[in-house]
Amino acid sequence: MARNKFDVDEELAQEFNREDFKRLLFYVKPYKKPIYQTLFVILIANIAMMLGPYLSKVVIDDVLPTKNMTLLIWVGVAFLASVIVTGWCMWYRIQSITVIGQDILKDMRSAIFEHLQKLPFSYFDSRPHGKILIRVVNYINTLSDLLSNGLINLISDILSVVITLIFMLAIDWKLTLYSLVLLPVLFVFVMFIKNKQRKAYQDLSNKQSNMNAYIHESIAGIKVTQSFARENVNDEIFSEVSKNYRASWMKAVSIQFLLWPGVQNIAVITTSLIYYVGIRGIGVDITTGTLIAFIGYVNNFWNPVINIGNFYNSLITATAYLERIFETLDVEPDIKDSPTAIEMPPIKGDVLFRNVTFRYEEGKDILKNINFHVEPGESIALVGPTGAGKTTVINLLSRFYDINEGEILIDGIDLRKVTLESLRKQMGVMLQDTFIFSGTIMENIRYGKLDATEEEVVAAAKIVRAHDFISELKDGYHTAVKERGSTLSAGQRQLISFARTLLANPKILILDEATSSIDTKTETLLQKGLEKLLEGRTSFIIAHRLSTIKNSSRIFYIDQGSVMEAGSHEELMVEKGPYYELYQSQFDLLQEL
């Protein structure tokens, strides 16, 4: 549960390894053709760029001593052509790799979002939503430069190094060996800072995640914060979280910035060495033009080496974020279709719980050996004390969780043998926590049935008595509501959620505290509308106001993980058991009020 706190760093379940780079290349693979085209253009650009130092050598060694104007003109034309070709190739390269990189990021973001929608409730219950959000947005965005420019630029720089080495070897192989003498020093230097940089960015990702989690939590709970005048306290907490993030950032970038000056200094020392060897003629005999051309090639060699070092730097930095992204993608959904899952046939509504036992991870049994049978069209009310297992029953029926023992059958078919989509599309579930999405009221009611006509939406709203208040709004059904329906009352949000559930025309209807935020007058009207809806449907209703479930076919009193008694309202009142005592306590309370 430590993950579920903004001030606790998340420990990686599995460290990043080389095999994970193949997973990154998986997102690159669909774009092989445009990548190959871009690399070909880059190859042409590199060859064109290599002509510059060679043409300088020709001018110094051949044109100036002989004053050959014809050769000078041809050299000028060749140089101009190389500049034009290089310029066009660079323009094409920038355009191409930007498009490719953004497409790869889109695919990665879509993959993680799609995966998140398949994860069980327990995943979202076990960590702040801010720590989940940062993976989809910030961490993916951090990879932008790596994927937009890095991978293709890496190949481009490798090509540039190879082509430059070929030209250098063609001019003088001895000088080429002098140029490479400090490469081992560079390798040792890079390896030295690699691990320090990676650990620093792992810590930075933790602190960034913590800060994002606290911001998200603070925004979601802003009403509570202002109600208890907690603004100053929260400011102090955020200041501490932000200070930790800043400290981690400064440490990470201070290590990262060691690489560039280190490589740059090695390049400058190498250039100085070539000047010294060339001028003093130590083991070489070269012309002035050759030396100048070779220095040009040395610069062309070290520039891409520096770029490769920067790419490696970025790769180490990105690794800290890739670890978090792949960690999320590696979370296996607890609830998923079996390989042999079939489509659920049209549901008639026969429900059977047979020896059902359920417990959360490493916890005690929430339900113990539950057995009951519901005929098609029956309405079943679930009552009992808080935490008795009522909501768990409907969560298991909707297969939000899987049972530990026993089986749940609908029309004689085990829920675990059908696809989740085909099962849930035939069930209407209205949970205790109503959620209204940003958009219009029409779009919210249509959420479960996108092809519904406006007339069908209005008809569903009328049944649940939402039509009257919607019609009084400025734009009626096309009124825009804000995130989580903050501009609507709790009762209005619940009625809209009810209409959304009913519009889906479910074969099995599940209502968890469906009328908890509705006033008594509206509830009376709603009950009349629901009588028609419940006809011919199997329904499960959880309600603490027992007056709302008196007309149910049967009432199950659940306590201590078991069905303690079952029957109609009249039957249970005669038995004078737990239900009778619960009903009487509510009745006496109302009398006192």
The whole-number pLDDT of residue 380 equals 92
Residue 262's pLDDT is 75
State pTM to two decimals. Answer: 0.64
Taking residue 510's Cβ as centre, other Cβ atoms within 10 Å add up to: 25
Q: Are strands 508-512 and 538-542 parallel, antiparallel or unpaired?
A: parallel
Give the per-residue pLDDT at 357.
93
What residue has token string 């400090």? 182
Residue 555: both structure tokens together = 């009432």
Which strand ranges, in their side-by-side order, compose the sheet holding 413-414? 365-374, 351-359, 405-410, 413-414
- Of 143, 151, 119, nearest to 42 by C-alpha is 151
3-state class (DSSP) for residue 85: helix
Q: How far apart are CA 521 and CA 469, in angstroms?
A: 14
2-329: CATH topology is: ABC transporter transmembrane region fold (1.20.1560)
349-426+507-516+534-593 topology per CATH? Rossmann fold (3.40.50)
Please say whether the dihedral angle defined by the alpha carbons of residues 403, 404, 410 and 416, taken in this order, is positive or negative.
Answer: positive
Residue intervals of the chain classified under CATH 3.40.50.300 are: 349-426+507-516+534-593, 432-505
User: Which of 376, 447, 460 lies closest to 410, judged by CA?
Assistant: 376
Q: Six-digit token pair at 376?
A: 């098609």
Distance of alpha carbon 315 from alpha carbon 320, whole angstroms: 9
Domain range 432-505, its CATH number among 3.30.70.580, 3.40.50.300, 1.10.10.60, 3.40.640.10: 3.40.50.300
In this structure, the dihedral spanned by the alpha carbons of residues 117, 118, 123 and 128, taken in order and rounded to 10 degrees, is -10
Question: How much is the pLDDT for 98?
Answer: 78
Q: What is the mean pLDDT of each run of 10 residues along the chain (593 residues)?
A: 54 58 79 85 81 78 81 86 87 82 84 83 73 76 68 74 81 80 77 73 79 78 75 86 87 76 78 79 75 76 73 69 78 84 92 91 82 92 87 89 91 92 86 76 87 89 85 88 72 81 85 67 63 78 77 89 90 89 74 53
pLDDT of amino acid 116: 84
Q: How far apart are CA 458 and CA 565, in angstroms?
A: 40
Which residue, among 335, 284, 70, has the nearest Cα to 177 in the 3D structure?
284
The secondary structure of residue 475, as a DSSP letter, is T
Q: Report the distance separating Cα 400 and Cα 264, nearest Å.
A: 57
pLDDT of residue 90: 82
Of 388, 387, 399, nearest to 429 by C-alpha is 399
CB atoms within 10 A of CB 293: 26
pLDDT in tens, 306-348: 777 667 766 766 776 777 788 788 888 878 888 899 999 999 9
Burial (Cβ within 10 Å: 0-12, 13-18, ≥19) of residue 361: exposed
Q: How far apart are CA 498 and CA 513, in angstroms?
A: 11
- Please write the tens of the pLDDT for every residue from 170-223: 877 888 887 778 778 877 777 777 667 777 877 887 787 788 778 877 877 777
Which two tokens mark 572? Answer: 């249970």
